[in-house]
Amino acid sequence: MRSRPVAHFEAMVFTALAEELRTGDVAVVGSEEYADWPEQLLAWEALQEGLGSHLVEVRPRRAGRERRVRREVLPPTAGGPAAQCRRGGGRRVPGGR
């Protein structure tokens, strides 16, 4: 049984449409009737007031762990994940690659 190839096509179309809307190459007829979205964004001061309780609720990762993972898994020149073993007993790929 094949996976839905239509889903991949839909994702491609909507990704392209989102980029076209973002750059202004495509417009939606009647969109000027809606509010300007930047005006609806919360001010930074309003965000800071509730930030502490929100962070407790979502339990973000500790900053030290994030830095360690970035340092050990991502090479400084890569800019993206690399197929490196973590220091300190990481799993190795079968075949030594």
Asked if residue 18 belongs to a domain, the reply is: yes
Task: Count the alpha carbons within 13 Å of 6 in the hemisphere toward its beta carbon.
Answer: 1
- Residue length of the chain: 97
Q: Is residue 42 part of a domain?
A: yes
Is residue 82 assigned to a domain?
no
Q: Is the pLDDT of residue 26 over 60?
A: yes
Q: Does a structural domain hold residue 83?
A: no
Could you tell me if residue 19 is inside a domain?
yes
Least confident of 9-13, 56-60, 67-71, 91-95: 91-95
Structural domain includes residue 58: yes
Q: Report if residue 11 sits inside a domain.
A: yes
Amino acid at 89: G
Residue 43: predicted pLDDT: 84
pTM: 0.31
Q: What share of the chain is helix, strand, coil (3-state, %, to 5)?
A: 55, 0, 45
How many domains, in total, are found in the chain?
Answer: 1
The band of 81, judged by pLDDT with boundaries at 50, 70 and 90, is very low
Q: Give a yes or no: residue 79 inside a domain.
A: no
Which of 43-47, 68-72, 88-92 is modeled with the greatest confidence?
43-47
